[in-house]
Amino acid sequence: MMSKTNLKSLTFNELQEWIHSTGEKPFRASQIWSWLYQKNIVEFSGMTNIARSFQTHLHDHAFIYSLSPVKTTGSSATRTQKILWQLEDGLHIESVFIPDGHRRTFCISTQAGCAMGCGFCATAAMGFQRNLHVHEMTEQVLSMQRHLGIKPTNLVLMGMGEPFLNYDNVIRALTILNNAEGTAIGHRRITISTCGIVPAIERYTRENHPYKLAISLNATTDETRSSLMPVNRKYPLNTLLRAAEAYTRQSHKRITFEYVMIRNLNDTPEDARRLMRMLRGIPCKVNLIGYNATNPDFTRSDDKRIHAFAEAIAPLSAPVTLRLSKGDDIQAACGQLATKQESATELSPSA
């Protein structure tokens, strides 16, 4: 017996090819795409402008993958919401909705767990489980829309996992989500965050993808960064910064450097001066992020020290943002996403 085609694993061009293989007229691809990604339908019976006979054919030969939330945890302080999903093989991932004025950001995961071992990140403690499929990434966005009744203005790939270790699936998923006839999230509103996989950054630069790029930097010396982020032992700062500079030169886009501030580890005046020297000449933005508690060995820099650090690097002529943690009270802030299999048993109401 032939297996059914998962329509959400197909790009638009692949859907057109699949429709052609069924003998149907080409315009059916646009109809189905619209139902999947504009109207967010999860049943073929809901496709009201498609003949019943073709609906039956679709039901017999294809399926629409969907996720249902296992648990939703809401922050009363910031209206941030963290959503736990169960995948078909029983693994779990998390996504986060972050409201900020008119901005509605969806933060999605690209892997179940993570192999990078960053000392400040809760996902690292899970270890690596597997890469997410294309449909598991796109469906996080679509399911959040259905569940929350909200469409995103911005999308960040900053959830569980290292996006550039799932490179091909990530790019395919973003091609689908960026499609103007579907979910239509503009490429200027999509950001991929990497811990610094240099060959993938170089490939991304060569392929000239339009989405924004962020690098989790977090230190100004190889010794400190390697202690925090084992990836630095393979791709040290000089190598990483050369790749970042090449990206900005090729893309004509600023790159965002994310810098998690940990007291007495990477927040000293000397660190600020080194950061100035490192980033001078690279068109960039700098996000300073107060450490969100995941590891008892680390402590968040206090606000006075964070502001002093920001003032010290102000001469960079690069926008410096003090990112306010949203969702740290529900373990949904930067570096806090992690799942426990035994906790995925029931759906709790949104806050």
Residues designated catalytic: 94, 334
CB-side neighbour CA atoms (13 Å) of 265 = 23
* b/e map 109-119, b = 16+ CB within 10 Å: bbbbbbbbebb
Beta-carbon count within 10 A of 166 CB: 22
Q: Which two tokens stand for residue 208?
A: 């000239």
The string over 194-229, giving b where at least 16 C-beta atoms fall within 10 Å of a residue's C-beta and e elsewhere, is: bbbbbebbeebbeeebebbbbbbbbbbbeebbbebb
Measuring CA to CA, how many Å separate 269 from each of 186, 228, 309?
A: 38, 19, 7
What span, in angstroms and rounded, lies between the C-alpha atoms of 80 and 76? 8
Token digits of residue 347: 């759906």
Which pair of tokens denotes residue 192? 């991929």
Instruction: Name the nearest CA neighbour of 44 among 23, 68, 28, 26.
Output: 28
Strand ranges inside the chain, DSSP E? 5-6, 62-63, 69-74, 81-86, 92-100, 103-107, 111-113, 128-131, 154-157, 190-194, 212-216, 255-261, 284-290, 320-323
Kindly calculate the radius of gyration of the chain based on its CA atoms and give it in whole angstroms: 21
Cβ neighbours for 229, distance < 8 A, ≥ 6 positions apart:
116, 117, 118, 119, 195, 196, 216, 218, 219
**Residues whose CB is less than 8 angstroms from the CB of residue 101 and which lie 6 or more positions away in sequence, other chains included:** none
| Integer Cα distance of 231 and 240 in angstroms | 10
